[in-house]
Amino acid sequence: METGFVGLGNMGLPMARNLLQAGHRLTVYNRTRGRAEELAKSGAQVASTPAAGCAHGVVMTVLSDDAAVESCVWGEGGILNALPKDGVHICLSTISTDLSRRLAEAHSARGQHFIAAPVFGRPAAAAAARLIVVAAGPPEAIERCRPLLEPLGRKVFVLGPDAPAAHTLKLAGNFLIASMLETLAEAFALLRKSNVDPAKLLEIVNGGLFQSPVYENYGRLMLEERFEPAGFALRLGLKDVRLVLRASETAAAPLPIASLIHDRLLSALARGQGDLDWSSLARVAAASAGLDR
Q: Which of 146, 138, 137, 140 is nearest to 165 (CA)?
A: 137
Per-residue model confidence (pLDDT) at position 210: 87
Q: Are residues 111 and 183 in the same domain?
A: no
Per-residue model confidence (pLDDT) at position 207: 85
Residue 214 lies in a domain: yes
Alpha-carbon distances, residue 145 vs 89, 103, 234 (angstroms):
10, 18, 32
Alpha-carbon distances, residue 161 vs 103, 115, 252, 280 (angstroms):
14, 9, 23, 37
Which of the residues 170, 193, 200, 239 is marked catalytic? 170
**Cα Rg, the chain, nearest whole Å:** 20
Q: Are residues 129 and 221 in the same domain?
A: no
Determine the average pLDDT of the residues in 168-173.
98
Residue 293 lies in a domain: no
pLDDT value at 3 more than 80: yes
pLDDT value at 209 more than 90: no
Per-residue model confidence (pLDDT) at position 231: 94
Per-residue model confidence (pLDDT) at position 293: 60
pLDDT value at 181 more than 80: yes
Q: Are residues 120 and 189 in the same domain?
A: no
Q: How many domains does the chain have?
A: 2
pLDDT value at 98 more than 70: yes
Q: Are residues 8 and 28 in the same domain?
A: yes
Q: What percent of the chain has pLDDT over 90?
A: 94
**What distance in Å separates the CA atoms of residue 135 and residue 192, rounded to the nearest whole number?**
42
**What distance in Å separates the CA atoms of residue 247 and residue 171, rounded to the nearest whole number?**
9
Q: Are residues 74 and 112 in the same domain?
A: yes
Residue 67 lies in a domain: yes
pLDDT value at 70 more than 70: yes
Q: Are residues 90 and 214 in the same domain?
A: no
Q: Are residues 14 and 67 in the same domain?
A: yes
Determine the average pLDDT of the residues in 198-204.
95
Q: Are residues 117 and 8 in the same domain?
A: yes
> Which CATH number covers residue 227?
1.10.1040.10
pLDDT value at 245 more than 80: yes
Residue pLDDT, tens place only, 211-238: 888 999 999 999 999 999 999 999 999 9
Residue 248 lies in a domain: yes
Contact 166, 116 (CB under 8 A): yes
> Which CATH number covers residue 63?
3.40.50.720
pLDDT value at 290 more than 70: yes
Q: Are residues 105 and 182 in the same domain?
A: no
**What distance in Å separates the CA atoms of residue 241 and residue 221, rounded to the nearest whole number?**
21
Q: Name the domain boundary from 133, 161, 189.
A: 161
* Catalytic annotation present for 170: yes
Residue 71 lies in a domain: yes
3-state SS, 214-252, equals HHHHHHHHHHHCCCCCCCCEHHHHHHHHHHHHHHHHHHC
Q: Are residues 108 and 237 in the same domain?
A: no
Per-residue model confidence (pLDDT) at position 175: 98
Q: Are residues 148 and 263 in the same domain?
A: no
Average pLDDT over all residues of the chain:
96
Q: Which domain holds residue 201?
A: 168-288
